[in-house]
Amino acid sequence: MADLSIDFAGIRSPNPFWVASGPPSNTAHQAHRAFEAGWGGVVWKTIGEPIVNVASRYSALNLGGMRMVGFNNIELISDRAPETNFDEIAAVKKRWPRHAVIASLMVDTRERWHDFVKRSADCGADGIELNFGCPHGMCERGMGSAVGQNPEVAETIVGWVMEAATIPVIVKLTPNITNVVYAARAAKRAGADAISLINTINSITNVNLDTLVPEPTVAGRSSHGGYCGPAVKPIALNMVHACAADPQVGLPISGIGGIGTWRDAAEFVALGSTSLQVCTAIMHYGFRIVEDMKDGLSAYLDSKGMRSLADLRGKAVPQVGDWQQLDLHSRRVARIDYEKCIGCNLCHIACEDGAHQCIDLVDAAPYGLGPGRVPGKPVPKVREDDCVGCNLCSLVCPVDGCITMTPVDTGRAAMTWHDYQSRLAAGTMQPIPPHP
Amino acid sequence: MPIQPLLDAATAAANLADIRPPFSPQEARVEANRCLFCYDAPCIKACPTGIDIPTFIRKITTDNLTGAARTILEANVLGASCARVCPTQVLCEGACVMLDLEKQPIQIGRLQRHATDHVAARGIDVLQPPGPKNGHSVAVLGAGPAGLGCAAELARLGYAVTVYDKKPAGGGLNTYGIAYYKMRPEVSLDEVRMIERLGVTFRYGVDVRRDLTAADLQRDHHAVFVGIGLGGANRLGIPGEDLPEVVDALEFIEWIHTRPLADVPVGRRVAVLGCGNTAIDAVTQAKRLGAEEATIVYRRGAAEMSAYAFEYELAKTDGAAFLFDAAPVEVLAQDGHVAALRLAKTASHDGRVAIVPGSEWTIPCDLVLKAVGQEKQAGLLTRLFPGLNLDARGRVEHDPATMQTSLPAVFVGGDAASGGREVVNAVAEGTKAARGIHALLAGDSVRGPVQPSRLGMPDGATGSGFDQPIRVHELEAALKRG
């Protein structure tokens, strides 16, 4: 069995799976349950001066039969007294000394930051996470994403924290920003030990078409909330990669955003994450989901001959870069397996109306009949010479493995956009003619 | 006329093909994603082995099929055969919350087959190999589901286990007595080999009547598990019973499992006596092997049959006929072979069934299959274990929590204890007995694997149907009665 333990900027935990700061990490009761279920760490729900919450607080994007594909909240930071939270962290650490407990903090003045940072270390927390990302409510008071969106302010506040910090400091970044790398570099400049990302994304999930008030509704009004859940994973992966690939950042990364399964976890690790934080999936199913996350991740590492997470970490980072580094000569075409085709013709209409008009509907006779096909019904047929290899048909096809995007050897050496421009400038090649 | 095979190999194979074929990977993923991943799910409570069903199904959704199989097999070592032979309609699937929501339960049995097939096809052993042996030796009598459940659990706990069985191969009824369209014997034999790899020794061709004595067992072993099931079919006590074409239904099913399908003889007009699930298995397989007529003869009414409703429906779909309130009074022969069955109408008075005088009639028939229940092995048990207490119905008395009998070092499970229940009950009882033996010999209590889907439940993570399974159809019947 592969070793799942991690050392994240000096914070050790038996596995990379941490409960993210949020409703599931609000109390010692929940932390105990999380560790009993097998989680490696808990990032406490953000501690600050107590706030007042509203009802209701959550809303969801459902898609087809799937609930909570996306999730939105307008809940603020902990509404419990700081001393209650610090006392409970101390109690949790006493019972779970080898697990990671991280205090998430959000306050305003330099003095308060110093006070809360010291109290975090005093209660036995293994680290501190600075909540610079909360996109609702707190930002209106100059905290949360209001800090994270301004790298200079963030750098100043991280500086205050580092003046008092004796345990590792993680800066949690907001995705509600033009380029997350600037915020990550600010954290690095100010001396932070690590970054975590992404926090939630500004959102309105839906509008109630009877009341014309979006959810979650509070006495006939609503507010934009923080969006998370499976739907945000692609955004999070991109930002994690951006920070992992940036040589000026160079900090350990705690990946957050739509992680619910071991596969999600493996992807975040491959793009450079060391620890992984989960919230929405726990809010949906409970702490028990971690069992499959550990089991599946471990089995995956074993199947690839990897002995620990370090063997996977960042291994996908070098393969992602700027568009201009891609090979303009590489070619692939769609091929349809007529043994699998069920004759829905979605590939045809997607290509015809939505892409590049290279899948015809033709007489079935020469191609044989796919399963379930009505005799004489036309079959989709790719004109490979015209196929631009865009993937769309294979994405809409409902049958696993029916349309395969097949590489075609063009016999031409790789040429990037950069190469192309250089050759044009040197006069060693003619411009590629425009697509007809 | 002696009976003979009626169909060619291809036709017989097509007729006896898998009634619930395996899922394709895509079908399995779609079905698994229908599962709500309930907490403290009712399906777990309806499973006598307490498999954490929502957890294994979630693992299918994440493509962790090996992990799914581990979740299944840690709770039920015969998960592959139970996936095929369990009456899921009255167990896990009958308890599924999706019945309330969409009228269609999650197809748990087929998903379980998908996961267990994955590891079986790839030769992946998901159960932990046993640690060092603890010095204790246990004899398991009978290599059927109860014995296998007990042997596997004991092996995993570090015991030296020897399983004795009179057949040439293990698996018991799973290998020899399940309707062929539900499960092939190879699935069961695969399970036996998996248990062999856990370090269990199998001694075949050993007849406990003839080859073993209590002294042998006491000398060689610290405890004994009795999983010998039931004996042959009950006697009918009517003239003609000993004609060559009057056959135990289970023996007929064994022919199907031990001979090429094209060599299995079957009558053109088959009468099956009894109306339990074995009778249904017999009548449907007779039809599928080419019988022109196959008729169930039952001395009570349709409402009283012990076969499950879905099994009754299957037999009707296969073209079986049903004669209710009728009893055989004589098997008639011509040239020494069965030629007809003489029947009489029955009537019920105060729960007792009696033949109506003067109501007799005769139906043509060339094969009579007896499915009227199996004999208890009371004589054998009391001879082998003097002092063993049996109840009035010939079942071995036992503590239901530990399966310990009136003899402290003798444990029991399966049909010898219950008088006849499902494969899954037998596995569960064998597993329980193994833990009972462990408590006796090692003074150690063992709990099942931690179930993520029950974490934090008041009865602990391992409670569930293993301790006290709910019986969905019984609950529903009770509700209907008010």
Place of tokens 């491959």: A270
Q: Which residues does chain B have within 8 Å of residue A299's beta carbon, measured at their own beta carbons?
A: 64, 66-67
Distance from CA of A34 to the nearest CA of B (A): 10
Task: Look at residues A252, A281, A311 and tell me which one is the last residue of a structural domain.
Answer: A311
Residues 274-313 of A with CB under 8 A from B: 285-289, 291-292, 295-296, 299
What is the mean pLDDT of the segment spanning A306-333? 97
State yes or no: pLDDT of A371 exceeds 60.
Answer: no
Q: Are both A251 and A384 inside the same structural domain?
A: no
State yes or no: pLDDT of A230 exceeds 70.
Answer: yes
In a mutational test of the A interface, the residue from B31, B62, B128 whose CB has the highest number of chain A CBs within 10 Å is B62
d(CA A169, CA A132): 13
Place of tokens 């034999």: B189
Closest partner residue to A400 (CB to CB) among B26, B70, B453 is: B26
Q: Are both B204 and B251 inside the same structural domain?
A: no
State chain B's mean pLDDT as an integer. Answer: 93
Which CATH number characterizes residue B91's domain?
Answer: 1.10.1060.10
pLDDT digits (tens, 9 = 90+) for B15-72: 999 999 999 999 999 999 999 999 989 999 999 999 999 999 999 999 999 999 999 9
Residue A141: its pLDDT value, please? 84
Q: Could you tell me the residue range of the domain that residue B156 belongs to?
A: 137-231+375-445
Q: Are both A334 and A273 inside the same structural domain?
A: no
Place of tokens 């931690």: B450
Determine whether the interchain pair A296/B58 forms a contact, defined as Cβ–Cβ distance below 8 Å: no
| pLDDT band (50, 70, 90) for residue B474 | confident
Tell whether A406 is within 8 A of chain B (Cβ).
Answer: no
Examine residue A434 and state whether it is found in any structural domain, yes or no: no
Q: Are both B317 and B272 inside the same structural domain?
A: yes
Q: Are both B337 and B355 inside the same structural domain?
A: yes
| pLDDT band (50, 70, 90) for residue B463 | low
Determine whether the interchain pair B39/A286 forms a contact, defined as Cβ–Cβ distance below 8 Å: yes
Q: Are both A250 and A382 inside the same structural domain?
A: no
State yes or no: pLDDT of B240 exceeds 90.
Answer: yes
Closest partner residue to B37 (CB to CB) among A65, A285, A296 is: A285
Examine residue A431 and state whether it is found in any structural domain, yes or no: no
Distance from CA of B221 to the nearest CA of A (A): 35
Task: Look at residues B354, B370, B386 and tell me which one is the last residue of a structural domain.
Answer: B370
State yes or no: pLDDT of B482 exceeds 70.
Answer: no
Closest partner residue to A288 (CB to CB) among B64, B70, B453 is: B453
Closest C-alpha to A181, from A272, A244, A106: A244
| pLDDT band (50, 70, 90) for residue A28 | very high
Residue B163 neighbours by CB under 8 Å, 6+ apart? B140, B141, B142, B143, B147, B148, B151, B170, B200, B201, B202, B203
Burial of B292 (0-12, 13-18, 19+ CB in 10 A): exposed
Examine residue A160 and state whether it is found in any structural domain, yes or no: yes
State yes or no: pLDDT of B300 exceeds 90.
Answer: yes
- Sort strands A379-382 and A359-362 into parallel, antiparallel or unpaired: antiparallel
Chain B residues touching chain A at CB-CB below 8 Å:
25-26, 33-34, 37, 39, 55, 58-59, 61-64, 66-67, 70, 452-453, 455-456
Determine whether the interchain pair A292/B453 forms a contact, defined as Cβ–Cβ distance below 8 Å: no
Exposure class string for B44-81: b at 16+ Cβ within 10 A, else e: bbbbbbbbbbbbbbbbbbbbbbbbbbbbbbbbbbbbbb
Q: Are both A164 and A192 inside the same structural domain?
A: yes
Q: Could you tell me the residue range of the domain that residue A51 belongs to?
A: 6-311
Examine residue A252 and state whether it is found in any structural domain, yes or no: yes
Tell whether A342 is within 8 A of chain B (Cβ).
Answer: no
Examine residue B381 and state whether it is found in any structural domain, yes or no: yes
| pLDDT band (50, 70, 90) for residue B481 | confident
Q: Are both B422 and B395 inside the same structural domain?
A: yes
pLDDT digits (tens, 9 = 90+) for A379-433: 899 999 999 999 999 999 999 999 999 999 999 999 999 999 999 999 999 999 9
Rg, C-alpha atoms of chain A: 25
Examine residue B39 and state whether it is found in any structural domain, yes or no: yes
Could you tell me if B47 and B469 are in contact, meaning their C-beta atoms sit under 8 angstroms apart? yes
Could you tell me if B245 and B367 are in contact, meaning their C-beta atoms sit under 8 angstroms apart? yes
pLDDT digits (tens, 9 = 90+) for A93-129: 999 999 999 999 999 999 999 999 999 999 999 999 9
Q: Are both A55 and A158 inside the same structural domain?
A: yes
| Active-site position among A123, A134, A347, A358 | A134
Residue A275, amino acid: S
pLDDT digits (tens, 9 = 90+) for A139-148: 888 888 888 8
| pLDDT band (50, 70, 90) for residue B460 | low
Residue A50: its pLDDT value, please? 86
Q: Is the pTM of this model over 0.90?
A: yes
Determine whether the interchain pair B456/A289 forms a contact, defined as Cβ–Cβ distance below 8 Å: no
Which CATH number characterizes residue B348's domain?
Answer: 3.50.50.60
Q: Are both B101 and B66 inside the same structural domain?
A: yes
Q: Are both A307 and A376 inside the same structural domain?
A: no
Closest partner residue to A296 (CB to CB) among B37, B64, B452 is: B64
Determine whether the interchain pair A36/B455 forms a contact, defined as Cβ–Cβ distance below 8 Å: yes
Q: Are both A165 and A123 inside the same structural domain?
A: yes
Exposure class string for B233-260: b at 16+ Cβ within 10 A, else e: bbebeeebeebebbbbbbebbbbbbeee
Tell whether A371 is within 8 A of chain B (Cβ).
Answer: no
pLDDT digits (tens, 9 = 90+) for A255-293: 999 999 999 999 999 999 999 999 999 999 999 999 999
Q: Which residues does chain A have within 8 Å of residue B67's beta carbon, measured at their own beta carbons?
A: 292, 295-296, 299
Residue A432 neighbours by CB under 8 Å, 6+ apart? A328, A420
Examine residue B461 and state whether it is found in any structural domain, yes or no: yes
**The Cα angle at residue B51 between residues B47 and B53, in degrees rounded to 5:** 95
Q: Which residues does chain A have within 8 Å of residue B35's beta carbon, measured at their own beta carbons?
A: none
Q: Are both B315 and B286 inside the same structural domain?
A: yes
Distance from CA of B41 to the nearest CA of A (A): 12
State chain A's mean pLDDT as an integer. Answer: 95
Q: Are both B120 and B107 inside the same structural domain?
A: yes
Determine whether the interchain pair B64/A286 forms a contact, defined as Cβ–Cβ distance below 8 Å: no
Determine whether the interchain pair A295/B59 forms a contact, defined as Cβ–Cβ distance below 8 Å: yes
Task: Look at residues B355, B370, B385 and tell me which one is the last residue of a structural domain.
Answer: B370
State yes or no: pLDDT of B307 exceeds 90.
Answer: yes
Residue B453: its pLDDT value, please? 84
State yes or no: pLDDT of A369 exceeds 90.
Answer: no
Could you tell me if B465 and B454 are in contact, meaning their C-beta atoms sit under 8 angstroms apart? no
Residue A242: its pLDDT value, please? 98
Examine residue A317 and state whether it is found in any structural domain, yes or no: no
Residue B459: its pLDDT value, please? 67
State yes or no: pLDDT of B168 exceeds 60.
Answer: yes
Which CATH number characterizes residue A413's domain?
Answer: 3.30.70.20
A290 → chain B, closest CA residue: B452
Determine whether the interchain pair A289/B26 forms a contact, defined as Cβ–Cβ distance below 8 Å: no
Q: Which residues does chain B have within 8 Å of residue A261's beta carbon, measured at their own beta carbons?
A: 61-62
Closest partner residue to B62 (CB to CB) among A36, A292, A399 is: A292
State yes or no: pLDDT of A370 exceeds 80.
Answer: no
Distance from CA of B66 to the nearest CA of A (A): 8
State yes or no: pLDDT of B291 exceeds 80.
Answer: yes
Q: Are both B185 and B114 inside the same structural domain?
A: no
Q: Are both A291 and A344 inside the same structural domain?
A: no
Closest partner residue to B64 (CB to CB) among A36, A65, A292 is: A292
Q: Which residues pair with A412 in a beta bridge?
A: none
State yes or no: pLDDT of A48 exceeds 90.
Answer: yes
Examine residue B10 and state whether it is found in any structural domain, yes or no: no
The verdict on whether A134 is a catalytic residue reads yes
Closest partner residue to A299 (CB to CB) among B25, B37, B66 is: B66
Distance from CA of B186 to the nearest CA of A (A): 28
In a mutational test of the B interface, the residue from A295, A300, A399, A402 whose CB has the highest number of chain B CBs within 10 Å is A295
Closest partner residue to B62 (CB to CB) among A37, A263, A285 is: A263
Examine residue B107 and state whether it is found in any structural domain, yes or no: yes
State yes or no: pLDDT of A220 exceeds 70.
Answer: yes
State yes or no: pLDDT of B461 exceeds 70.
Answer: no
Q: Are both A53 and A131 inside the same structural domain?
A: yes
- Report which of residues B375 and A197 the model is more confident about: A197
Q: Are both B416 and B466 inside the same structural domain?
A: no
Region class of A411: left (phi > 0), else alpha (psi between -120 and 50), else beta: left
Residue A369 neighbours by CB under 8 Å, 6+ apart? A338, A375
Examine residue B1 and state whether it is found in any structural domain, yes or no: no
State yes or no: pLDDT of A372 exceeds 80.
Answer: no
Q: Are both B37 and B102 inside the same structural domain?
A: yes
State yes or no: ipTM above 0.90: yes
Determine whether the interchain pair B67/A299 forms a contact, defined as Cβ–Cβ distance below 8 Å: yes
Q: Which residues does chain B have within 8 Å of residue A289's beta carbon, measured at their own beta carbons?
A: 58, 452
A262 → chain B, closest CA residue: B62
Task: Look at residues A311, A337, A355 and tell me which one is the last residue of a structural domain.
Answer: A311
Q: Are both B217 and B194 inside the same structural domain?
A: yes
Which CATH number characterizes residue A159's domain?
Answer: 3.20.20.70
Q: Which residues does chain A have within 8 Å of residue B57's beta carbon, measured at their own beta carbons?
A: none
Determine whether the interchain pair B62/A400 forms a contact, defined as Cβ–Cβ distance below 8 Å: no
Determine whether the interchain pair B64/A295 forms a contact, defined as Cβ–Cβ distance below 8 Å: yes
d(CA B195, CA B180): 23
Examine residue B203 and state whether it is found in any structural domain, yes or no: yes
Is the torsion defined by CA of B275, B276, B282, B286 positive or negative? positive
Q: Are both A334 and A294 inside the same structural domain?
A: no
Element (DSSP H or E) covering residue B297: strand B293-297
Examine residue B241 and state whether it is found in any structural domain, yes or no: no
Q: Are both B250 and B366 inside the same structural domain?
A: yes
Interface size between A and B, measured as CB pairs under 8 A: 50
**Number of separate domains in chain B:** 3
State yes or no: pLDDT of B467 exceeds 70.
Answer: yes
d(CA B180, CA B257): 7
Q: Which residues does chain A have within 8 Å of residue B62's beta carbon, measured at their own beta carbons?
A: 261-263, 292, 296
B451 → chain A, closest CA residue: A288
Q: What percentage of chain A exceeds 70 in pLDDT?
A: 99
Q: Are both A252 and A340 inside the same structural domain?
A: no
Residues 6-45 of A with CB under 8 A from B: 33, 36-37
Closest partner residue to A291 (CB to CB) among B55, B63, B66 is: B55
